[in-house]
A and B are shown apart, each in its own frame.
Chain A
Amino acid sequence: MQYHAEVTIELKPGMLDPEGTTIKRALEHLGYQTESVATAKKYMIELDANSAERARQAVDEMCQKLIANPIIHNYTIELGESR
């Protein structure tokens, strides 16, 4: 079975997000007031696995070993069957 995983990597709460702060400031120049702007990265991964559980486990390992840096990031995984 082929699965589609969407991994979202965010900075942990309290971490500085200079890119978000810069975007917030640029939005103000355009006349938009915002409470906050935070950035995140999304990775789309297609993979084969015997079950959804196996697929999630594999993607979780990928996050821990490479895609996220556990010192500064939190991550979420959304998993579905590929269409």
Chain B
Amino acid sequence: MKIAIIQFGGSNCDLDVLHVLKDVVGIDAELVWYKEKDLSQYDGAIIPGGFSYGDYLRAGAIAARTPIMDAVKKMASEGKPIMGICNGFQILTESGLLDGALTTNKYPKFRCEKTYLKVEDTDTPFTSGFKKGEIVKIPIAHMEGNFYAGEKTLTRLNENRQVVFRYADINGNVTDDVNPNGSQENIAGITDANRNVIGLMPHPERASETILGSEDGIRMFSSMVDYIENR
């Protein structure tokens, strides 16, 4: 098993994800530069956070239109798990692999803090290791994380159980007070219709070791590994 970590100019969480996969989860992973056009040797891919192309035009817009994203789309169509974290989520929405758009935070400030998330769905390759309704602690660090999809798309996402994480308080209340960025319905992460592509603003790689204050994030990566092993 080998996971590709896609690197664009300006990615900056790539090495953290590599460390967690190799040294904490203990699986083989490799950094793959965006000029690569063939990802067929990999069993899954992670698009890490950062500021690809300096957030020029819109966060994720330029990276979404690089040739490697055609290879990522091919992987997605083959049912391989794809995870986009933060800027990776922005890239996945810009590329059309995920619905909606991530716009400037309602209060236009870069927010870097711990957040509590309610696990809305465990029937995905990334959340099978959680309990439905469980509250997990995974931090955010972004300025464009305000999820917007329009009412029609939002209804569809809810009906198809594609909303995976919502910002909540420690007791699981999903309220405006704990919505860090103005996202519609406190949405923090969604999947595509086939459920094997996920995007989320919080950083599970920053919550994968006790010393970092939470180990909740590691279960996303180990769920992904379980899914690949059982495919």
Contact = CB atoms under 8 A, between A and B. Distances in A.
The number of chain A residues touching the other chain, given as a range, is 10 to 19
B133 to A, nearest CB: 29
A72 B101 contact: yes
A57 B107 CA distance: 37
A16 B57 contact: no
Q: How would you classify the secondary structure of chain B's contact residues: helix, strand, loop or mixed?
A: loop
Interface in B83-139: 94, 100-101, 103-108
A82 interface: no
Contacts of B106: 16, 18
A74 to B, nearest CB: 13
Contacts of B103: 11, 15-16, 72
A22 interface: yes
Contacts of A65: 65
B49 interface: no
Interface residues of B, number: 18
Interface in A25-63: none
B146 interface: yes
24 contacts: A11-B103, A15-B148, A16-B182, A18-B104, A18-B105, A18-B106, A18-B108, A18-B182, A19-B104, A19-B108, A22-B108, A65-B65, A66-B61, A67-B57, A69-B58, A69-B61, A69-B94, A71-B100, A71-B101, A71-B148, A71-B149, A72-B101, A72-B103, A72-B148
Given A15-B148, A22-B108, A71-B149, 10 more contacts: A15-B103, A16-B182, A18-B104, A65-B65, A66-B65, A71-B100, A71-B101, A71-B150, A72-B101, A72-B103
